[in-house]
């Protein structure tokens, strides 16, 4: 990841493949939020139907199209990366300022494109 405040080029990836049955199976008990993320870590999350996941007290948009899918959140002190279970980057964010309730996909420094 790049240190906060440095210039970065906007990067995009290609469209995601159709979700696999394991990504959309609601019987899997995977939450869409991490209440108290440690300084660094990685965890599977299920994207809420409205296309967001929650890290701490902040909602991060991954687009409505991602609703119901399982993603992998990988974070450190500089930012957070959301990827598909196949490893394709969906969105990468710097941590927002303390107290930020919502971060839209347009604020991602890397995001997928159709």
Q: Look at residues 93, 104, 101 and name the one whose alpha carbon lies nearest to residue 57.
A: 101
3-state secondary structure of 94: strand
Residue 91 lies in a domain: yes
3-state secondary structure of 82: strand
Place 26 in a pLDDT band, splitting at 50, 70 and 90.
low
Give the chain's domain count. Answer: 1
Residue 62 lies in a domain: yes
User: Which residues constitute the domain of residue 78?
Assistant: 38-112
H/E stretch holding 24: helix 21-24
For the chain, the average pLDDT equals 81
* Whether residue 25 has pLDDT greater than 60: no
Residue 83 lies in a domain: yes
**pLDDT of 45-81, one tens digit each?**
999 999 999 999 999 999 999 999 999 999 999 999 9
Distance CA 40, CA 22 (A): 26
* Whether residue 2 has pLDDT greater than 50: no
Residue 72 lies in a domain: yes
């Amino acid at each position: 990841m790049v240190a906060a405040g440095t210039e970065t080029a906007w990067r995009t990836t290609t469209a995601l493949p159709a979700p696999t049955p394991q990504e959309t199976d609601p019987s899997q008990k995977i939450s869409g939020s991490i209440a108290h993320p440690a300084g660094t870590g990685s965890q599977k999350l299920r994207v809420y139907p409205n296309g967001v996941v929650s890290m701490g007290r902040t909602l991060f948009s991954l687009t409505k199209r991602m609703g119901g899918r399982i993603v992998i959140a990988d974070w450190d002190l500089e930012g957070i990366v959301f990827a598909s279970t196949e490893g394709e980057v969906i969105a990468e964010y710097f941590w927002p300022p303390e107290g930020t309730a919502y971060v839209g996909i347009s604020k991602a420094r890397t995001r997928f494109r159709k």
